[in-house]
Amino acid sequence: MLNKVVIFGVGLIGGSFARSLRKAGAVREIVGVGRSATSMARAKELGIIDAIGVSGAAADGALPLADALHGADLVLLAAPVAQTEAILASIAPHLQAGTVVTDAGSTKSDVVASARRALGSKVAQFVPGHPIAGRETNGPDAAIDNLYVGKKVVLTALAENSETDVERVAAAWRACDAIIHRLTPEEHDKVFAAVSHLPHLLAYALVDDIARKPHADLLFQYAASGFRDFTRIAGSSPEMWRDISLANQPALLAELDAYMAQLTVLRAQLAANDGAGLEQVYSNAQHARHQWITAIEAAETPPSPDKAD
């Protein structure tokens, strides 16, 4: 049981963490901190948080940061990643020895660098994390108590972290029914550059490419369900993905270069009418994707009692 949890940013990610912990009976008190007084008031009205904390001067019954953090077992940063360093710097002077801090950012190497700058030797109390959960809606009203059920949460522990502190973060996410994975920050960023950040960049690039053509209206008229699925991620927040692209720049550049090299090979095969070469790439992709989907579906489907033996 956590006595007190402080959440910076009570939107879909932070608010759902709060609701899930509460549903599991895993927390006594939740304090929310955010830049928008309206959002915080709404989060309290919805019962997601018990009290509101503020950076800077306290007002209207909101707690100063020192009081908000006093006696906290766990602090979750779930505000936009661009605010991470400033939030950590505001926390640093008030951070007590018994408090563990974690985050929910989509990139990790840059967050670790920010944490080292902002927290100094207290970085040992910071356990970086990344819950892999959808982000198409936001705000306190989007928060639900089952967002993390069966979802992966990647923790990228630092050499300075104690196993007790890492376990406190892991246990909180497990109380939300999430599944804990552990990677280094560098592994994390390489993996997500390949399977998430690059696809976003590619989808944005394609839609922008088409939208800028003089006959864009004609093109969009004939775009069908395949195009719709391929470009769904280009409907995501441009600001958030700008920040993620820049935050994970080295790994994303490496993945983009590998992909452009692959396109150069495919272009040469196409130009040479090399059907066998194209088919090899297409077949390998179809086969790999089929195996992946089969593995996902097997993991999602509990074994049927009829078939068990």
Contact window for a copy of itself (CB under 8 A) among 44-52, 90-98, 171-179, 274-282: 274-282
66 interacts with a copy of itself by CB under 8 A = no
Footprint of a copy of itself on residues 204-223 (CB under 8 A)?
204-213, 216, 218-220, 222-223
* Residue number, 115 or 198, with CB nearest to a copy of itself: 198
149 interacts with a copy of itself by CB under 8 A = no
The only residue of 25, 226, 303, 305 in contact with a copy of itself, by rule CB under 8 A: 226
Token pair listed for 131: 């819950």
28 interacts with a copy of itself by CB under 8 A = no
3-class SS string, the chain: CEEEEEEECCCHHHHHHHHHHHHCCCEEEEEEECCCHHHHHHHHHCCCCCEEEECCCCCCCCEEHHHHHCCCCEEEECCCHHHHHHHHHHHHHHCCCCCEEEECCCCCHHHHHHHHHHHHHHHHHEECEEECCCCCCCCHHHCCCCCCCCCEEEECCCCCCCHHHHHHHHHHHHHCCCEEEECCHHHHHHHHHHHHHHHHHHHHHHHHHHHCCCCHHHHHHHCCHHHHHHCHHHHCCHHHHHHHHHHCHHHHHHHHHHHHHHHHHHHHHHHCCCHHHHHHHHHHHHHHHHHHHHHHHHHHCCCCCCCCC
86 interacts with a copy of itself by CB under 8 A = no
297 interacts with a copy of itself by CB under 8 A = no
Contact window for a copy of itself (CB under 8 A) among 5-13, 99-107, 168-176, 275-283: 275-283
Beta carbon of residue 142, minimum distance to a copy of itself (angstroms, whole number):
17
Beta carbon of residue 33, minimum distance to a copy of itself (angstroms, whole number):
26
* Residue number, 74 or 133, with CB nearest to a copy of itself: 133
47 interacts with a copy of itself by CB under 8 A = no
> 21 near 176, Cβ under 8 Å?
yes
146 interacts with a copy of itself by CB under 8 A = no
The only residue of 152, 160, 174, 179 in contact with a copy of itself, by rule CB under 8 A: 152
Site string for a copy of itself, 101-140 (x = CB under 8 A): -------------------------------x-x------
46 interacts with a copy of itself by CB under 8 A = no
The only residue of 271, 298, 302, 304 in contact with a copy of itself, by rule CB under 8 A: 271
The only residue of 109, 200, 251, 294 in contact with a copy of itself, by rule CB under 8 A: 200
- Sorted by sequence, the CB contacts under 8 Å of residue 269 that are 6+ apart come out as 277, 278, 281
Identify the CA nearest to 15 among candidates 141, 99, 101: 141
Beta carbon of residue 153, minimum distance to a copy of itself (angstroms, whole number):
11
* Residue number, 144 or 230, with CB nearest to a copy of itself: 230
Footprint of a copy of itself on residues 153-192 (CB under 8 A)?
154, 181, 187, 191-192
How far is residue 79's CA from residue 13's CA, in Å, rounded to a whole number? 9
